[in-house]
Structure 1
Amino acid sequence: MSILQDIKDTFRQPNNTLKQLILINVIVFVVLIVLRLLLTFTAGPGAYNLIMSFIELHSSPMVFITRPWTIITYFFTHQGFLHIIFNMLNLYWFGQLIREYLGDKKLLSLYVLGGIAGGLLYLLTYNFIPYFEDRAANSVMIGASASVLAIVVAAATLLPNYTFNLLLIGPVRIKYIALFLVLLSMSGAVGDNAGGNIAHLGGALIGWLFIKQLQRGNDMGRPLHAIFNFFGGLFSRKPKLKVTHRTSAYSTRTNGSATTTVGKPSQKEIDLILDKISSSGYESLSKEEKQKLFQASQKE
């Protein structure tokens, strides 16, 4: 099977957001490597820099107004191998947790909202804080770090006691991993990559807010879902009219006997389950609670 067919299959498969996000980042990275090589040897480095100016996020408000789409394109763009490897590994590890417990739509919402929040905080600080005044005219930013840190912090907020086995260190709770990454970004907010680290903090804030609001029954990603559904409907084929009836059921146990309850778990039930995960970890859930959480994520 060809690479092109593998790519097509990845985007055709439903509930495959995590692989799709990683693949988009990798494709953009590879395309930019090829373009940089070709343009440098033919038209010169200026041609490549011109293309990048329409992808990277510029700190100047006047430039940003003429290229507003860069608030999105910048967090799908990388140029260094270590940069993209570090981001994609964290996206995969922590994205798996968000995808498993909250579903693909929540994962996509966190990625996009984290990137937008990071970009906006970058623009605001570079234009309204005097310390950055000298840098604002020529600063640009790329990278998915703000989006990824939003997912990292969200996972740590939802499952603080979940552990990863780190090489040479052993088991570490993810709340400490997230805290380390946030402190690292704070320490770098006055360094050479100040803009990038400030964007990381914007993503981290969104990750924390997203889960806290979700636990209160508010989905910050709902407006994004409406936008995605609208544009998705424009490019999808409309199926033939077909009337079907399907009943969803999950089992519960009362007084030692099994009964069947029909319907989707209520938001109140999901909120209670999320609160239990936050306080005691996913392992503390009963089989029925895990099934309800799984059903809610599949039907979002």
Structure 2
Amino acid sequence: MAANSLLYQFKTANTAIKLIVINAAIFLFVRLVAFFIGVKPIAITEWFVLPDDVSEIILQPWAFITYAFLHYDIFHLLFNMLLLYWFGAIILNLFSGKRFLTVYLLGAIFGGLLYVVSYNLFPVFENSRSYLLGASAAVMAIMVFIATYSPNTQLRIFFFTVKLWHIALFMLLFDLVRMPVSGNAGGLIAHLGGAIFGYVYAQQMAKGNDIGKWFEHGMDWFTNLFKPRKKSPFKKVHRTVHKTKTTSKSTVDKNEHQQKVDAILDKIGKSGYDSLTKGEKDFLFKAGKD
């Protein structure tokens, strides 16, 4: 029963919360497995972190995405997830969960690309070997995207109220200042790659150009591969065709319940599932279980 409740809460949560749960679950899983078999966590994740060597990347191209779901330690995870939660709440008030996920994943990919290019192009990294992990590039893309799109929106952080562009600018300058001395130049370069993508995406969107649409179509195609064909996701919820007159209170209640279901289904037909409020989604989910 508890497992069903947790699964329901996960299914009905917004995209930012789902990403936070997934990141935290992967972090715990990796540490538990490493502990029980007596190895370091990197031994579990080496095929999922992003290496700097192109010859290795060819063998694990999925690492451009998977590295963004792995973290070095609990503080690395906590800091990234707090930023994802704060800025995700603002984005999801303006955009769909699919758009949010697109910014997150493409931010991670572009951050990873800049990291790899830098390590193979700039002489300063010639004798260095490294690998990349963490959601920081993806989170930076999220942060800069919304700070560019809605710069004067205010966010309450602890006891202070600041504008989004102030936060984004501070984070960027902080990364640039410590890049030469931090010992984590590769990670900070990835942050910059995510930030550049977030800025360009928001600027193009303001001009009416959705440069992430192709990626959304790709995600739709991929998820459809795992969906059962010719089956409705609301197979247990049926539209009323014939109505009978009755004075029974239970029948009246059923008719009112069905009318609400029909109204929600009509809304989905006109505007899509994402147009539903959380209350409507919860009601439809429960109706499908009856």
TM-score bucket of the superposed structures, by smaller chain: 0.7 to 0.9
> Are 2:231 and 1:239 equivalent residues in the alignment?
yes
Residue in structure 2 matched with residue 65 of structure 1 by the alignment: 58
Following the alignment from structure 2 to structure 1, what is the Cα–Cα distance between the partners of residues 216 and 72? 30
Following the alignment from structure 1 to structure 2, what is the Cα–Cα distance between the partners of residues 188 and 55? 27
Following the alignment from structure 1 to structure 2, what is the Cα–Cα distance between the partners of residues 58 and 7? 35
Aligned length, in residue pairs: 245
Residue in structure 2 matched with residue 139 of structure 1 by the alignment: 130
Structure 2: where are the runs of 5+ without partners? 240-261, 277-290
Residue in structure 1 matched with residue 184 of structure 2 by the alignment: 193
Contact kept? 2:50, 2:67, Cα under 8 Å: yes
Contact kept? 2:149, 2:206, Cα under 8 Å: no
Shift in Å at residue 221 of structure 1?
A: 1.7
Structure 1: where are the runs of 5+ without partners? 249-262, 265-294
Residue in structure 2 matched with residue 267 of structure 1 by the alignment: none
TM-score by length of 1: 0.75
Which of the two has higher C-alpha Rg? 2
Following the alignment from structure 1 to structure 2, what is the Cα–Cα distance between the partners of residues 186 and 36? 34
Secondary structure at the residue paired with 1:171? strand
With over 3 angstroms needed to count, the CA separation of the structure-2 counterparts of 1:298 and 1:187, relative to structure 1, is farther
With over 3 angstroms needed to count, the CA separation of the structure-2 counterparts of 1:23 and 1:247, relative to structure 1, is closer
> Are 2:89 and 1:100 equivalent residues in the alignment?
no
Contact kept? 2:30, 2:44, Cα under 8 Å: no
Residue in structure 1 matched with residue 14 of structure 2 by the alignment: 16
Q: How does 1:37-186 map to 2 (within 5 A)?
A: 37-40=35-38, 44-45=39-40, 48-135=41-128, 138-168=129-159, 170-186=160-176
Following the alignment from structure 2 to structure 1, what is the Cα–Cα distance between the partners of residues 204 and 185? 29
Following the alignment from structure 1 to structure 2, what is the Cα–Cα distance between the partners of residues 247 and 63? 49
Residue in structure 2 matched with residue 228 of structure 1 by the alignment: 219
TM-score by length of 2: 0.77
Q: How does 1:208-219 map to 2 (within 5 A)?
A: 208-219=199-210
Contact kept? 1:10, 1:16, Cα under 8 Å: no
With over 3 angstroms needed to count, the CA separation of the structure-2 counterparts of 1:234 and 1:173, relative to structure 1, is same
Shift in Å at residue 36 of structure 1?
A: 1.9
Following the alignment from structure 1 to structure 2, what is the Cα–Cα distance between the partners of residues 39 and 246? 53
Secondary structure at the residue paired with 1:235? coil
Residue in structure 1 matched with residue 253 of structure 2 by the alignment: none
Residue in structure 2 matched with residue 285 of structure 1 by the alignment: none
Shift in Å at residue 73 of structure 1?
A: 0.5
Contact kept? 2:23, 2:70, Cα under 8 Å: yes
Following the alignment from structure 2 to structure 1, what is the Cα–Cα distance between the partners of residues 7 and 211? 30
Shift in Å at residue 10 of structure 1?
A: 4.4
With over 3 angstroms needed to count, the CA separation of the structure-2 counterparts of 1:134 and 1:6, relative to structure 1, is farther
Deviations 1:155-189 (A, max 9, x none): 11112111122335x21111111100011111232
Secondary structure at the residue paired with 2:155? strand
With over 3 angstroms needed to count, the CA separation of the structure-2 counterparts of 1:228 and 1:167, relative to structure 1, is same
Following the alignment from structure 1 to structure 2, what is the Cα–Cα distance between the partners of residues 65 and 50? 19
Write the letter of the residue equivalent to 1:28: I
Write the letter of the residue equivalent to 2:120: N
> Structure 1 segments of 4 or more deviating over 4 A?
240-248
With over 3 angstroms needed to count, the CA separation of the structure-2 counterparts of 1:7 and 1:113, relative to structure 1, is farther
Residue in structure 1 matched with residue 257 of structure 2 by the alignment: none
Shift in Å at residue 298 of structure 1?
A: 3.5
With over 3 angstroms needed to count, the CA separation of the structure-2 counterparts of 1:163 and 1:26, relative to structure 1, is same
Contact kept? 2:99, 2:216, Cα under 8 Å: no
